[in-house]
Structure 1
Amino acid sequence: MLLQYDATKRDIVFLLDGSDNTRDGFHDIKSFVKNIVESLYVDENQDRVSVVQFADNPKVNFYLNSHKTKNDNMNAIDNLMHKGGRRLNIGAALQFVRHRVFTSSTGSRRLEGVPQILILLSSKPSTDNVRGPAFALKEHEIVSVGVGVGDINIEELEMIAFKPGFTYNVTDFSKLPSIQSQLVTTLKVHKDNGETMNGIPDLVVELESPQRDIVFLLDGSDDTLSGFPAMKTFVQQVVETLSIGENKDRVSMVQYSQDPQTYFDLKTYVEKQDVLTAVQQLNHKGGRTRNMGEALDYVRIKAFAESSGSRNQEGVPQILILLSGGISQDDVASAAAALKQQKVVPFCVGTRTADIIELQVIAHNPSYAFSIRKFNDIGSIHQQLVSFVKRVPRQQLKVKPQSTIGSTRQRESIQRDIVFLLDSSDDMQNDFKAVRAIVERVVKRLSVDENKDRIAVVQFNEK
């Protein structure tokens, strides 16, 4: 799910087919890009634009922070030279822009909540695989729009596009102006009167909830003693970004090793300085074992309880930030599932001695699990984690169904059809045993039967 973004800012990257197939139409392509840019509010603090060409390999013509004015961008587009190349490796180009263009160092404001938009223009099917790179773009909240010219693979373009309807197709380059107005409408975030248009914003929810209940669950085992000051500093840095108050953000602190212990709950402090002082005075718990599963159950039952200050029933986002210095000595899968069932959104940060797959099982989604070398390096992911935390939306409150005659008799046992899609490429060879163990743990918790839960397993690789 995407998030409500700043309506006056967009980071837009044009990814243009620069293969030999587009040489004769490159003038039309440049005119198309210029017309789109002309409709934008290009400025360092508003819309930013980048252009990348690709064929056998990608090449950046200019980055999001290369030009600060619309006129400079228009001149740069005018001066574009056709790249050339026999092959069209769209998959490699998608991966390139994610890693090298949609980054803070090259002008991306993704971590500030600015919409990240990719406009791909292609004239023929890709000569490499696009599935994985396209999925990764969506995971990173990059909204891709596909423009196809001539003999393109429409299914491939739709796979890359963020959602159905975000693809446009024309028969030749001279027809590109016919889709310009539709594409511009898709890119618009708000009308002048502030109403949302039928484009990208239809995918979004409110960026920042005015209230959050955040529980920090810190690994207090013996292994983390040397890294504990860095853990405390990290917590303080996160707290500094929050609006602490009884009717705003609330914070709780729990440490765990062989057993969990609450140091303060969600209703203990209503002033930011009091929270910061309490964190500073926190002593390392200690303990030889690390029972993460037990700790997850504990915070679900105790820390995220109404009696402890949780506002779960009011729809306030329930957020868990877990810091781990190693592998759990108990099972975490069932405890993690129970947390998510209770609408708690877990984020995980683990050192190199932690099990990243285990943390991904716990996290709300795999991108919410962060891996660092040691706790002294935790500052490197601080900004990104805070950005994700602030984008957790308010919960949709469920309306309690009215009691009806016969409702008890009408209840049926839960039935689910579950498909496990497992990456079996060479890159996963060392981790596949752990992946299989995760599947086994999940299946053990199900009621597998012809009339209850049904299971399928599918493996895939580059073929």
Structure 2
Amino acid sequence: MRTVVLTMKASVIEMFLVLLVTGVHSNKETAKKIKRPKFTVPQINCDVKAGKIINPEFIVKCPAGCQDPKYHVYGTDVYASYSSVCGAAVHSGVLDNSGGKILVRKVAGQSGYKGSYSNGVQSLSLPRWRESFIVLESKPKKGVTYPSALTYSSSKSPVAQADLWSTTTYTSSQNRPGADPGIQRQDPSGAAFQKPVGVDVSLGEMDSWKPGSVLLDEGLVPKEELSTQSLEPVSLGDPNCKIDLSFLIDGSTSIGKRRFRIQKQLLAEVAQALDIGPGGPLMGVVQYGDNPATHFNLKTHMNSRDLKTAIEKITQRGGLSNVGRAISFVTKNFFSKANGNRSGAPNVVVVMVDGWPTDKVEEASRLARESGINIFFITIEGAAENEKQYVVEPNFANKAVCRTNGFYSFHVQSWFGLHKTLQPLVKRVCDTDRLACSKTCLNSADIGFVIDGSSSVGTGNFRTVLQFVTNLTKEFEISDTDTRIGAVQYTYEQRLEFGFDKYSSKPDILSAIKRVGYWSGGTSTGAAINFALEQLFKKSKPNKRKLMILITDGRSYDDVRIPAMAAHLKGVITYAIGVAWAAQEELEVIATHPARDHSFFVDEFDNLYQYVPRIIQNICTEFNSQPRN
């Protein structure tokens, strides 16, 4: 019986093993038969915009021919979501014009998009936009599932939607406010549409104009998309043209209403061409007649669109053509921090004159130039031969501008040719390297202080000398591109306290001066001058004025004549300040000619502060006396 039971158990175990092996084999066969779903790359047309696709990241296939200019692209590297996806891919270089697969990733909206020409595609500029995207090669990330079908923001397909747009009918009541009623065109259905004021739209662009659309930087943008954008400044501006610009426009009675409108048109075109924004150019307008008045200052309008709208609303004041009074007004009032003036941006004034001024401009312009204002003149028509007797100041433009080399002056024979000055004017005002009056006596020098630290000075008086150095330094505009400060202390030996490239802000410089420690020793002024030439001024920038301000309280133990001559020959303007036991004749040898303007003597250290204003005045007078040619 026991044998039978064992035999039955063995049979059951054997059957279980057979079933187990069979089941595993069956599962393997089933698994082989189940195929994983293949990823299908969705295809899109060239006109599909990224903003119409809801998916945050996706792979798509673009057709050939997306290089066509009709597929608008906005931006460079990072594109506004209103751009053609495939057009952006060609522009970025990920695709060529034959098409192919790309990876698209949505990113945050930008405060501005700069247009550029790349790979046969001209992308356009666009102000602030709510969403952006970047284009990459179609290399899927591990673990990321990409959609085989895209989700669009509308139930209609992109192609159907495009067809709907192209056949929509509309009437003139749908035109945006301010449109010029004289510029109209009929669509095939007979419905009229209008061109926005101040925008040059070609017939081809008019053909692509859509109902309820607004023209922005050469691109047609649907009004419903535009309305979702922020009303804050729409562009950071062109960083290559960071200037603070004031237009002085002629509002005198003699100009007439028609010519006044032509003048405003040029202003609007300049505003558009400059790409106004807080990171680029800012522009205000002052109108003059009998008396000048500011229409808006630098911070009133922070983008080209708002500025153009404001220019359209300017009305003529009338009166005489008092240009000199207007320039004085701008010098004293316009370029202030309260009005939006930025210390790092060159100040530029463009003066427009119909005929000739009714007052003198030379003195007012000189003060403006010495304040660092670059004055440009646009003169229109001028005086006829029988009118020249009425001109108050002949050759007034050359007396006013920053340089008399033709760079700052435009003369237009007729008001109808005024528009021809647009491109050269914009190019010149943005050429910051050539804005010579931007460099003033306070922001264009490398100043090296050479400080006597000998035993006769003493600790207390040495601190007084450092305060004198601090008071002088405070008067200058300090930065890496403005005035730079360096310091040397000397006894028998010399020590570089800090060079021109050590500190680039006024607070840092003032702190460094305060930290200078008193050395004590003998007085070798000649050796100190040589040391300063080698260790400080040899590293001065070529376009900087070189100023050495030497302070000593006694006669030098070594010869100062040869070192002083070496400084003068190297173009270093030397100021010598003597205290107490300093030798007057030695100071005059050290100082640049004429010595009366460059050497000073005080009996006591406590009286040093009295010479700060005079030294600054002499530095500026010498700077401003340079020829303007």
For normalisation by structure 1, the TM-score amounts to 0.54
After superposition, the Cα gap between the structure-2 partners of 1:102 and 1:309, relative to the gap in structure 1 and judged at 3 Å, is same
CA shift for structure 1 position 51? 0.3
SS in 2 for 1:164: coil
Aligned-partner Cα distance in 2 for 1:136–1:68: 29
**Over residues 346-371 of structure 1, what are the superposed CA-to-partner deviations in whole Å (9 max), with x where a residue is unaligned?**
6999998438556544x264569xxx
After superposition, the Cα gap between the structure-2 partners of 1:267 and 1:213, relative to the gap in structure 1 and judged at 3 Å, is farther
SS in 1 for 2:426: helix
SS in 1 for 2:395: helix
* 2:329 is the counterpart of 1:96: yes
Of 254, 262, 269, 1:21 maps to 254
**Over residues 256-311 of structure 1, what are the superposed CA-to-partner deviations in whole Å (9 max), with x where a residue is unaligned?**
xxxx96996326899879995773365799xxxxxxxxx9xx86x34331378525
Q: Match of 2:249, as an amino acid?
A: L
Which is bigger in relative contact order (C-alpha 8 A, separation at least 6)? Answer: 1
Aligned-partner Cα distance in 1 for 2:264–2:417: 13
Structure 1 residues 4-403: aligned runs within 5 Å = 7-24=240-257, 25-85=259-319, 87-109=320-342, 111-112=343-344, 114-152=345-383, 155-162=395-402, 163-165=404-406, 166-189=408-431, 201-202=433-434, 214-215=448-449, 231=468, 251-253=486-488, 265-266=495-496, 276=511, 279-280=514-515, 282=517, 301-306=526-531, 310-313=535-538, 319-320=546-547, 341-345=569-573, 353-354=610-611, 356=613, 360-361=617-618, 363=619, 365-366=621-622
Bigger Rg, structure 1 or 2: 2
Deviates more, 1:97-106 or 1:268-277: 268-277
Aligned-partner Cα distance in 2 for 1:176–1:268: 53
CA shift for structure 1 position 230? 5.5
Aligned-partner Cα distance in 2 for 1:99–1:174: 33
After superposition, the Cα gap between the structure-2 partners of 1:49 and 1:224, relative to the gap in structure 1 and judged at 3 Å, is farther
CA root-mean-square deviation: 5.1
Aligned-partner Cα distance in 2 for 1:12–1:239: 23
Q: Match of 1:74, as an amino acid?
A: K
Aligned-partner Cα distance in 1 for 2:513–2:536: 22
Aligned-partner Cα distance in 2 for 1:229–1:188: 40
For normalisation by structure 2, the TM-score amounts to 0.41
Q: Match of 1:107, as an amino acid?
A: G
After superposition, the Cα gap between the structure-2 partners of 1:204 and 1:224, relative to the gap in structure 1 and judged at 3 Å, is same
Conservation of the 8 A alpha-carbon contact between 2:272 and 2:305: no
CA shift for structure 1 position 340? 5.1
CA shift for structure 1 position 235? 8.3
Q: Match of 1:310, as an amino acid?
A: Q
Conservation of the 8 A alpha-carbon contact between 2:550 and 2:574: no
After superposition, the Cα gap between the structure-2 partners of 1:345 and 1:49, relative to the gap in structure 1 and judged at 3 Å, is farther
CA shift for structure 1 position 10? 1.5
After superposition, the Cα gap between the structure-2 partners of 1:352 and 1:84, relative to the gap in structure 1 and judged at 3 Å, is farther
Question: What is the aligned length?
Answer: 317
After superposition, the Cα gap between the structure-2 partners of 1:351 and 1:41, relative to the gap in structure 1 and judged at 3 Å, is farther
Conservation of the 8 A alpha-carbon contact between 2:247 and 2:351: yes
Q: Match of 1:21, as an amino acid?
A: S
Conservation of the 8 A alpha-carbon contact between 2:468 and 2:608: no
SS in 2 for 1:37: helix
CA shift for structure 1 position 48? 0.3
After superposition, the Cα gap between the structure-2 partners of 1:366 and 1:262, relative to the gap in structure 1 and judged at 3 Å, is farther
**Over residues 46-79 of structure 1, what are the superposed CA-to-partner deviations in whole Å (9 max), with x where a residue is unaligned?**
1100100112221111111221111121111111
After superposition, the Cα gap between the structure-2 partners of 1:19 and 1:315, relative to the gap in structure 1 and judged at 3 Å, is same
After superposition, the Cα gap between the structure-2 partners of 1:175 and 1:364, relative to the gap in structure 1 and judged at 3 Å, is closer
Q: Match of 1:22, as an amino acid?
A: I
Aligned-partner Cα distance in 1 for 2:540–2:495: 19
Aligned-partner Cα distance in 2 for 1:171–1:236: 49
Q: Match of 2:261, as an amino acid?
A: H
After superposition, the Cα gap between the structure-2 partners of 1:240 and 1:355, relative to the gap in structure 1 and judged at 3 Å, is closer
Aligned-partner Cα distance in 1 for 2:495–2:372: 33
Aligned-partner Cα distance in 1 for 2:437–2:324: 29
Aligned-partner Cα distance in 2 for 1:88–1:274: 47
Q: Match of 1:48, as an amino acid?
A: L
